[in-house]
Structure 1
Amino acid sequence: MDLGMYESRADYKSPKQCQKSSFAFYQAVRDLLPVWVLEDMRTMEVFHWEDDGQACAYSPSEAFLYALVHDHQQYARYLLNRFSTRALEMPSRSFCCCQASTTPHLAIAVRYNRVNILKMIMTTIKDFTDCERRNYLNRHGCVHTDSGKTALHLACDLVRPECLILLLGHGACPYATDLTGNTPLDCLLSQICQSDFDMRTKRICLGYLILFMPTFRFQMKRQLQDNADVWRALIGEQAFQWLSGSSPPSLFVQAMQKLSQSIPTDQLDSLPDFLKPLDFRLDQA
């Protein structure tokens, strides 16, 4: 009798074997192998080791995390089309320790600037109810990796204008606060005052936020008012006047606020050039 055969089978789901097969799956997604190969691996060959001592196959949600990290758009599309919202469920604790927080897919999409996959996610969550969609977009992220920030906060922290407009256009709340009470606008203003690097992109993000904020409620308003000359130089006279409360936005800006909130985000590019949010005229933009 070949006892070695039984030993290899018994060892198939050991921690060591799980580590090997898990890394093989990671490499396969990283190398952008065809979807059918990845699904064969996920459903039949690959296991990861859980903290409770169980060997588990990768769920669609966990596979989708890998697709996000490595920008495997075909695999991401397959998982969302095949499993729909199951691909956006909370993964196991070995992937995300904060089980009470939002699912990490939005945060990873923003962190890695996976705009095309983020668009796929926005399409998928259209099947949610309005309440479910708002909860999904606005819940706090992991306190360990994202400091409890929402995806919108991260888009401002990392200055991701395309991610920012997608989130805003699909219902992310510009007034949501993180665990320290900061709004996304506070995060962006902090980035603006820390460095003048890539200031044009920061001002584009500021323009997007203004388009989706009929009223300006944020913690740093007092700082703007107390350091008027500094902030005028950083964001321009018009934006300073609006954010500091010295004057209301112009009629053009108010009209653009209504327009931007009434048409699908993916149709913003079809607007005439003079109406596009990128032409939204902040001083020195």
Structure 2
Amino acid sequence: MPWSVRWVGGCGAQSQKQCKKSSFAFYQAVRDLLPVWFLEDMRTMEVFHWEDGGKVSVYSPSEALLYALVHDHQPYARHLLTKFPQSALAVPSQSFSCCQSAPHLAMAVRYNRVRVLFRILKAIQALPPSDRAAHLDRQGCSRVEGGKTALHTACELVRPECLLLLLGHGASPCLQDSAGNTPLDTLLQQISHMPAANMRAKLLCLDCLFFFVPQDLKFAMKQQLLDNRQQWQDLLGDNRFQCLVGLAPPSLFVRAMRVLIRTISPEHFPEALDNLPLPHFLKPLDLKLES
């Protein structure tokens, strides 16, 4: 089998070559969705990768989880998050991430792995409060990711399910990226792109944000909305526009939803949404996820 490899000790080119072969074998095994027990045997006993500086290292649960995210290996992700809830979300080596922070949330959003994202968020809720905030509001590398949080990425890629899960588990909608943009700014930029593709999903993301952002949120795009009033009214509708620029208070529905959502603790989100007094057509997101 192509993944059945052994690492040969040593510090020379032969060792590095063998590590590359071993590393690809593990990647291939996760990609092929091989059984969890087999992947864990590989990871812990015979698979190594070559780090910067000439260090040979076994794959950590954190690095294995990144592979599981990329290839949507849900059983393996579930195993790693259940058995290693802290180390699976730890900072990976520099071979996997250029900045010293854990990129798992952003990676889950980027690949739209909604079910794995849900499990990661549940694992984060079990961490101490300070660690929880560090994961939820982690800002990516300023050079590569522009200082974006996972919420920024969900808005940029228009991922309504990911956005609502992040907000419901406590991710902040007020943080700015390296360019000074909040997630709301990022979403408005996507809405303004022509042609107006995927507009229903974009407006759905905007409505989700309405339920969580503070009424006095300062955002960079506000003046642009005011300067191009007719264009933005056509894009957003009059009610959304008036509320965004502060010309009218939020609708009674939005205010009621803000109160209701505050009654849901992150530990019970999104399951508790089913208990909110909402008509069916106001629950368009497929968030019936396994706990």
Give the TM-score taking structure 1 as reference length.
0.90
1:132 lines up with 2:136 in the alignment: no
How far apart in 1 are the matches of 2:76 and 2:166? 22
Query: Which residue pairs with 1:204 in the alignment?
Result: 204
Query: Which residue pairs with 2:269 in the alignment?
Result: 265
**1:13 Cα deviation (Å)?**
7.2
1:187 lines up with 2:186 in the alignment: yes
How far apart in 1 are the matches of 2:8 and 2:30? 26
Query: Which residue pairs with 1:4 in the alignment?
Result: none
| Structure 1 residues 23-62: Cα deviation after superposition (integer angstroms, max 9, x where no partner) | 0000000000000100010011110001111111000100
**1:226 Cα deviation (Å)?**
1.1
Cα gap change, 1:118/1:181 in structure 2, threshold over 3 Å: closer, same or farther? same
Query: Which residue pairs with 1:248 in the alignment?
Result: 249
Percent of matched pairs sharing the same residue: 57
Instruction: Please list every run of 5 or more consecutive structure 2 residues that lacks an aligned counterpart in the other structure.
Output: 1-6, 285-291
Contact 1:156 1:185 in 2 (8 A): yes
Query: Which residue pairs with 1:80 in the alignment?
Result: 81
Contact 1:13 1:47 in 2 (8 A): no
**1:265 Cα deviation (Å)?**
2.5
**1:213 Cα deviation (Å)?**
1.3
Query: Which residue pairs with 1:168 in the alignment?
Result: 167
1:223 lines up with 2:224 in the alignment: yes
Q: Root-mean-square deviation (CA), in Å?
A: 2.0
| Structure 1 residues 195-226: Cα deviation after superposition (integer angstroms, max 9, x where no partner) | 30000000000000001013132111111111
Contact 2:175 2:182 in 1 (8 A): yes
How far apart in 2 are the matches of 1:277 and 1:66? 35
Query: Which residue pairs with 2:4 in the alignment?
Result: none
Instruction: Please list every run of 5 or more consecutive structure 1 residues that lacks an aligned counterpart in the other structure.
Output: 1-6, 280-285
Query: Which residue pairs with 2:57 in the alignment?
Result: 56
Contact 1:149 1:178 in 2 (8 A): yes
Query: Which residue pairs with 1:89 in the alignment?
Result: 90
Bigger share in helix: 1
Cα gap change, 1:125/1:228 in structure 2, threshold over 3 Å: closer, same or farther? same
Report the 3-state secondary structure (helix = DSSP H, G, I; strand = E; otherwise coil) of the residue aligned with 1:14.
helix
Cα gap change, 1:245/1:209 in structure 2, threshold over 3 Å: closer, same or farther? same
Between 1:131-140 and 1:189-198, the stretch displaced more is 131-140
How far apart in 2 are the matches of 1:141 and 1:135? 12
Cα gap change, 1:230/1:278 in structure 2, threshold over 3 Å: closer, same or farther? farther
Query: Which residue pairs with 2:288 in the alignment?
Result: none
Query: Which residue pairs with 1:283 in the alignment?
Result: none
Report the 3-state secondary structure (helix = DSSP H, G, I; strand = E; otherwise coil) of the residue aligned with 2:279.
helix
How far apart in 2 are the matches of 1:27 and 1:12? 23
Contact 2:260 2:276 in 1 (8 A): no
Pairs aligned (count): 272
Runs of at least 4 residues off by over 4 Å: 7-13, 275-279
| Structure 1 residues 64-113: Cα deviation after superposition (integer angstroms, max 9, x where no partner) | 100010000000010011111110000011111111xx311011100000
| Structure 1 residues 115-154: Cα deviation after superposition (integer angstroms, max 9, x where no partner) | 0000001110111233321222112112343221000000
Contact 1:269 1:276 in 2 (8 A): no
How far apart in 2 are the matches of 1:210 and 1:62? 35
**1:270 Cα deviation (Å)?**
4.4
Give the TM-score taking structure 2 as reference length.
0.88
How far apart in 1 are the matches of 2:103 and 2:188? 25
- The one-letter amino acid of 1:211's match is F
Cα gap change, 1:104/1:9 in structure 2, threshold over 3 Å: closer, same or farther? closer
